[in-house]
């Protein structure tokens, strides 16, 4: 594999962009080596600046659920751009987008569009605080909700110690209001709620975690959290930036049959353009400005080009719900095929998956939370990552990320992927 151009571009990028990238994980820092620079993509394939072709399992971290350069989305963007790219004034398309989302997610009465998942989660927390009049939030170790200050409290190793460790640039004053608990541990949350009686505004969770590899909620876990939130007047927020419109039309709420009070979206909702959203029941959402006094705004929110991309993508999904079954089946195919090749070589592993989210941890214990995920063999994953890249398979460059399948993947692509894994010696 020739990487000359990518290597050169990376050196050049570092002269004017911090670390050569505009989002850290792209730099390959955790897996080592030099990132490949992407030139274009179509369907299931990425093409880099050296002419190497890869089967893509990142899909822009989720949005490209129907594959790259999906014709209807590309055409819609091209057409819309002719009518100007931004107005900063209301449009019919924003109403249609909101109505479409509501038709897919029944417990959303009102929805506000923003420009990223970070913005959506940050705004949802502000709303929960404004609505309840309480300050603290509970998040879970290993869950990612974007880079807003409140979410960057470093997850500690246990809940016994109140976690007030801070990140450079995040004040202790902000961090002290973010409490953390291990994922899949209901008792830890009960204890936090007990210790901070009437102080907790919101519990925010990835209903299926995807930012420590893919981790599923255990039986009755989300239901248990739902109950605690109901009893304690806490807003239960599902961060569906990853899972929304990916696990099903109604996201994790529908797939797992559980309702949150507020839901945040990103990734798929923008069809590959910068879009996020947060929504929920009217009685909570009506506290957002200009209806209520919780302020939230955005110059490019509801941008017509972003809206038409998302609207077209969601319409495709809604009109062809069989896509989700096809994705499930493709994911199951990998989940069956990969263990066969690993078992042959005695490579210990666990594969977690749901819908079109899947990840491999190299270890001999179940992966249920951040601690178990971090005890997997990370150096072996990094070696696996580079092996797969060499063999034309582009996996997320971190053991702590879920892979995202697109429906452009063919069974030949899946076979090629399994075959590439088959030549991995461990």
Ligand X SMILES: *Cc1c(COP(=O)(O)O)cnc(C)c1O
Q: How many CB atoms lie within 10 A of CB 54?
A: 22
Q: Is 369 left (phi over 0), alpha (psi -120 to 50) or beta?
A: beta
Shortest approach of ligand X to residue 119 CB, angstroms? 7
Q: 393: which strand partners?
A: 55
Q: Is 142 left (phi over 0), alpha (psi -120 to 50) or beta?
A: left
Instruction: Classify burial at 143, counting beta carbons within 10 Å of its beta carbon; exposed 0-12, middle 13-18, buried 19 or more.
Output: buried
Return the range that interacts with ligand X (CB under 6 A); candidates 38-46, 236-244, 371-379, 418-426: 236-244
Contacts to ligand X from residues 157-186, by CB under 6 A: none
Q: Are 112 and 277 in contact (CB under 8 A)?
A: yes
Shortest approach of ligand X to residue 251 CB, angstroms? 11
Q: Are 117 and 265 in contact (CB under 8 A)?
A: yes
Residues in Cβ contact with 131 at an 8 Å cutoff, skipping those fewer than 6 apart: 201, 235, 284, 287, 294
Comparing CB distances to ligand X, the nearer of 35 and 62 is 62
Q: Are 139 and 180 in contact (CB under 8 A)?
A: yes
Number of residues that bind ligand X (CB under 6 A): 16
By CB under 6 A, tell whether 239 contacts ligand X: yes
Comparing CB distances to ligand X, the nearer of 77 and 208 is 208
Q: Which two tokens stand for residue 29?
A: 């820092």
**Judged by CB under 6 A, which of 113, 122, 155, 242 binds ligand X?**
242
Comparing CB distances to ligand X, the nearer of 20 and 276 is 276
57, 131, 144, 394: which is the annotated catalytic residue? Answer: 144
> DSSP readout, 248-308?
STTHHHHHTT---SEEEE-GGGGTTSS-EEEEE-HHHHTTBTTTSSB----TTTT-HHHHH
Shortest approach of ligand X to residue 126 CB, angstroms? 15
**Judged by CB under 6 A, which of 146, 207, 244, 272 binds ligand X?**
146
Return the range that interacts with ligand X (CB under 6 A); candidates 41-49, 84-92, 110-118, 321-329: 110-118
Active-site residue flag, 267:
yes
Return the range that interacts with ligand X (CB under 6 A); candidates 13-21, 139-147, 293-301, 360-368: 139-147
Return the range that interacts with ligand X (CB under 6 A); candidates 25-33, 101-109, 113-121, 347-355: 113-121
Rounded Cα–Cα distance for residues 301 and 88 (Å)? 8
Q: Residue written as tokens 């004034």? A: 89
By CB under 6 A, tell whether 206 contacts ligand X: yes
48, 56, 177, 239: which is the annotated catalytic residue? Answer: 239
User: Which residue's CB atom is positioned nearest to ligand X?
Assistant: 117
Binding footprint of ligand X on the chain (CB under 6 A): 61, 116-118, 121, 144-146, 206, 210-211, 239, 241-242, 266, 276
> Catalytic amino acids?
144, 239, 267
């Amino acid at each position: 594999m020739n990487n000359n151009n990518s290597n050169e571009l990376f050196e050049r990028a570092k002269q004017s962009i911090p670390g050569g990238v505009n989002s850290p994980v792209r730099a390959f820092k955790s897996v080592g080596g030099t990132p490949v620079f992407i030139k274009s993509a179509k369907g299931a394939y990425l093409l880099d600046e050296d002419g190497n072709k890869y089967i893509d399992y990142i899909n822009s971290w989720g949005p490209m659920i129907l594959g790259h350069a999906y014709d209807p989305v590309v055409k819609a963007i091209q057409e819309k751009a002719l009518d100007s790219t931004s107005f900063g004034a209301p449009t019919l398309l924003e109403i249609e987008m909101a109505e479409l989302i509501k038709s897919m997610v029944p417990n959303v009465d009102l929805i506000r569009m923003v420009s990223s998942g970070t913005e959506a989660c940050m705004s949802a927390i502000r709303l929960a605080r404004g609505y309840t009049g309480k300050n603290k939030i509970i998040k879970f170790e290993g869950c990612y909700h974007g880079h807003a200050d409140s979410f960057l409290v470093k997850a500690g190793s246990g809940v016994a110690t109140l976690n007030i460790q801070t990140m450079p640039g995040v004040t202790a004053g902000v961090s002290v209001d973010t409490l953390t608990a291990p994922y899949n541990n209901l008792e830890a949350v009960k204890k936090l709620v007990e210790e901070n009686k009437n102080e907790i505004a919101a519990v925010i969770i990835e209903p299926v975690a995807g930012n420590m590899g893919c981790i599923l909620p255990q039986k009755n876990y989300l239901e248990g959290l739902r109950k605690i939130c109901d009893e304690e007047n806490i807003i239960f927020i599902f961060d569906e930036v990853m899972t929304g419109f990916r696990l099903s039309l109604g996201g994790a709420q529908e797939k797992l049959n559980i309702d949150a009070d507020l839901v945040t979206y990103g990734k798929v909702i923008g069809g590959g353009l910068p879009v996020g959203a947060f929504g929920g029941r009217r009685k909570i959402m009506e506290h957002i400005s200009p209806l209520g006094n919780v302020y939230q705004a955005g110059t490019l929110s509801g941008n017509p080009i972003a809206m038409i991309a998302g609207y077209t993508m969601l319409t495709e999904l809604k009109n062809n719900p069989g896509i989700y079954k096809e994705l499930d089946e493709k994911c199951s195919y990998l989940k069956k095929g990969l263990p066969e090749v690993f078992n042959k070589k005695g490579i210990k592993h666990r594969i977690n998956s749901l819908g079109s989210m899947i990840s491999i941890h190299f270890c001999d214990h179940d992966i249920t939370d951040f601690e178990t995920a971090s005890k997997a063999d990370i150096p072996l994953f990094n070696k696996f990552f580079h092996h797969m890249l060499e063999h034309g398979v582009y996996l997320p460059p971190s053991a702590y990320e879920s892979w995202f399948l697109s429906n452009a993947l063919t069974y030949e692509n899946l076979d090629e992927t399994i075959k590439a894994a088959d030549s991995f010696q461990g």
